[in-house]
Chains A and B, each alone.
Chain A
Amino acid sequence: MKELVVISGKGGTGKTSIVASFASLLTNKVMVDCDVDAANLHLLLSPKIEERHQFYSLPKAMINREKCNGCGLCEDTCRFEAIKESTVNPLGCEGCAVCSRICPENAIEMVDTVAGEWFKSNTTYGPLVHARLGAAQENSGKLVTMVRSQAAKTAKKLGYDYIITDGPPGIGCPVIASIGGASLSLIITEPSLSGIHDLERTIDLLEFFGVPAMVCVNRWDICPENTEHIKEICRKRKIPFAGKIAYDNMVMLAASRGKSVVEMNSRIIDEIIKVWEKVFEVLCPNMKL
């Protein structure tokens, strides 16, 4: 089984639109949306939800008023500043449970918290595993791990060979959870100074975790000079360049209608297909599409 994870470092470079287009170019695969904070892939793939499951984070502290004598030891001990005047702020609580262990009155209980939901769905282009982290919740990395493992299970059950993952932005916890052990990661960047800055940090991250990388420049014609600069970075860092895709208003239009680019007859379809072919060559060196 091969897993391609599409990430970007910087948000809004067009990851999701490109993943949705790839989805229409390959049959035996499962798709995963690992951007569990702000999942979007489902907006382009109109999934039918077949299973929904609750997702629990680490249990959070709750103070039993009747037992609490107000000594304040928990408040002094909590290193997350999550307890004020014998009340736990669930947004600050990381679930370390130290307060419940030191409380002399045994007044603090750790309570299970539903932090989100995850779904198994079906789409025109195949199964999709996606999730929704509750607003202001923690543990998005854990939820990412959950959806990835469910996607792998689904693929195994169906005998599918590929997983295509739409990753989260950034380089922190949810991204680390998305890339660990992936076969290949495609970075979608844009030819802006911000895009380049974030691209370099993303390449550093993939190198740190030993995940092979490729780079694709989206909206390359917004700044051809920066596009050349990105190609140069790829040459220097020995990262295969997957190609470039032009700016097209049609993408925005497709996104506003909740459709994938390939359904919209955009002029950039050929470019997306070329990128996909290059990526597939690296993902499966000995196979023909």
Chain B
Amino acid sequence: MENTIITIASGKGGTGKTTVASCLAMSARQTVQFLDCDVEEPNAHIFLKPRLTREEAVSLDIPHVDHNKCSFCGRCAEICMFNALAVLADEVLTFPELCHSCGGCWTLCPEKAITTNRREIGLIKSGSAENIHFTQGELQVGTATSPPIIKAMKKTIQKNSLVIIDAPPGTSCPVVETMEGSDFVLLVTEPTAMGLNDLAIALQVVRVLDIPCGVIINRGTDVYSKVETFCRENNLPVLMKIAVDRAIAEAYAMGIPAVEAKPELREDFRKVLNHIKGVTAGERTCCH
């Protein structure tokens, strides 16, 4: 059996990504690897309540200048696209918070005067809860770049398992980093003009990455049918609709997952999982 990697995403924040991701994991009848890649604001631990037993720092290589070897030629500052160095007559200043760790300065320094230091940008914590192997990333407050943490988390994915990834909101680099390599993207939306707008944008990202996908409509009501029309027109299967329900919202507030507040939802989530497994198995047979 190969991996099945499912990423739960949405353009808009607060549509229920974490609810869906944790409910899927809790409904699965097998071992699940769960990655909370919303490293700016990781929340899945509140619902899955894992016992976190391991913690590992994620750091980036940043330049360290040996002033004895440096000729102060200025080449490093000149080539750095991120303006992370400044060269004075007898000193090189570095600005680690601006460094993208591209390696340009230490690769191209004519005097070989630059080596690397490490700068911590966040943590990866892991542990388990029942059938779930849980991992979450945490961006250090004040740090701008989250993709390296997401990249490091994805390296922990083990073979032969069902992997459920909770993505960050938005449509830019952290989302792309999270989705890449997934077998299926599940887009969670809500039936509002904003939900639809952001679903359409998120779908573009999924299409760019060319990953099969489906939709879950959360907080469904009868007043807004445009999301379903959009899904039909774009050949997007709606895999589940969760009706608007104050009881779910109240349980959510206390950190109680929807499948505990409403156990009957488990079966619906299992159907979603089975559908996705069917799709990804089909993809494999037709592609290989």
Chain A residues in the interface with B (C-beta under 8 A): 8-13, 16, 37-40, 43-44, 58, 77, 79-80, 91, 94-98, 101-102, 133, 135-141, 168-176, 190-195, 197-198, 201, 204-205, 208-209, 219, 222-223, 226, 247, 252-253, 255-258
Contact = CB atoms under 8 A, between A and B. Distances in A.
20 contacts: A37-B172, A43-B193, A96-B81, A97-B79, A101-B79, A102-B108, A136-B172, A136-B176, A170-B13, A171-B40, A172-B146, A190-B253, A192-B252, A193-B43, A198-B41, A205-B142, A208-B142, A247-B249, A256-B191, A257-B193
A144 B194 CA distance: 20
B103 A79 contact: yes
A8 B287 CA distance: 43
Interface string B187-200: 00001111001100
A171 B253 contact: no
Main secondary structure of the interface of B (DSSP, over half): loop
Nearest to A81: B151
A10 B103 contact: no
7 nearest CB pairs, A to B = A11-B13, A12-B14, A96-B102, A135-B204, A37-B170, A170-B40, A223-B253
B172 A138 contact: yes
Given A172-B144, A173-B144, A222-B250, 10 more contacts: A11-B14, A37-B11, A98-B79, A98-B103, A98-B108, A101-B79, A136-B208, A171-B139, A191-B253, A197-B46
Contacts of A193: 43, 46, 253-255
B110 interface: no
A198 B145 CA distance: 18
Nearest to B227: A256
Contacts of B192: 252, 255-256
Nearest to B192: A255
B205 interface: yes
B12 A11 contact: yes
Residue among B82, B168, B172, B223 with the most chain A CB within 10 A? B172
B57 interface: no
Contacts of A252: 192, 219, 221, 244
B237 interface: no
A223 B142 contact: no
B118 to A, nearest CB: 14
* Contact count band on B: 35 or more
A175 B142 CA distance: 10
B169 A133 contact: no
Interface in B10-24: 11-15, 18
B81 A58 contact: yes
B195 to A, nearest CB: 8
B253 A136 contact: no
A193 B223 CA distance: 29
Contacts of A170: 13, 38, 40-41, 168-170
B223 A253 contact: yes
A75 B141 CA distance: 32
B173 A194 contact: no
A79 B244 CA distance: 45
A101 B79 CA distance: 9
B82 to A, nearest CB: 7
A194 B104 CA distance: 40
